[in-house]
């Protein structure tokens, strides 16, 4: 019995040693796509316009949180998303407003999101950043 176990372990170790060089030649796996419900950091080609004035309506419930209107980068343009009252999906989540940061001649846009959501770099932002890092001395 002991000899069978030892033989099985030896064969498994030999198979692992032989296949290791083959695995090293495989291409790297593709990047992990964003999870559903995650948000992407994008790059805007021009500055976002000034925020619009909005009148806050009456709070619909005690649990509702006011989310101010903001500019969202969609396609090749800024689109205004009006302010609204929203009840967070998770009780302890809080709203983090969007951020616009000047970077490499564009505007890095981190969309507004709940603290429980995951924000990842979008493909367009990743390409933009890599292109512009190479150009810097």
The stretch 53-73 carries a mean pLDDT of 91
pLDDT in tens, 16-48: 666 656 545 555 544 444 444 458 988 888 999
- What are the sequence ranges of the domains in the chain? 34-135
CA-CA distance, 10 to 103, in Å (whole number)? 56
Residue 103, pLDDT score: 87
Residue 76 has pLDDT above 70, yes or no: yes
Q: Can you give the pTM of this predicted structure?
A: 0.65
Higher pLDDT, 28 or 100: 100
CA-CA distance, 70 to 52, in Å (whole number)? 8
Confidence of residue 59 (pLDDT cuts 50, 70, 90): very high
65-69, 73-77, 108-112: segment of lowest average pLDDT: 73-77
- Find the angle CA(97)-CA(82)-CA(85) to the nearest 5 degrees: 70
């Amino acid at each position: 019995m002991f000899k069978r176990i030892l033989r099985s372990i030896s064969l498994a170790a030999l198979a692992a040693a032989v296949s290791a060089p083959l695995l090293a030649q495989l291409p790297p796996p593709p990047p992990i796509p964003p999870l559903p419900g995650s948000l992407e950091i994008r790059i805007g080609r021009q500055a976002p316009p000034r925020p619009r004035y909005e009148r806050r309506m009456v709070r619909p419930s005690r649990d509702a949180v006011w989310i101010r209107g903001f500019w969202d980068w969609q396609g090749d343009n800024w689109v205004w998303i009006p302010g609204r009252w929203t009840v967070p999906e998770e009780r302890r989540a809080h709203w983090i407003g969007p951020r616009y940061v000047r970077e490499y001649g564009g505007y890095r846009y981190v969309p507004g999101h709940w603290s429980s959501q995951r924000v990842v770099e979008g493909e367009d932002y990743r390409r933009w950043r890599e292109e512009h890092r190479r150009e810097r001395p």
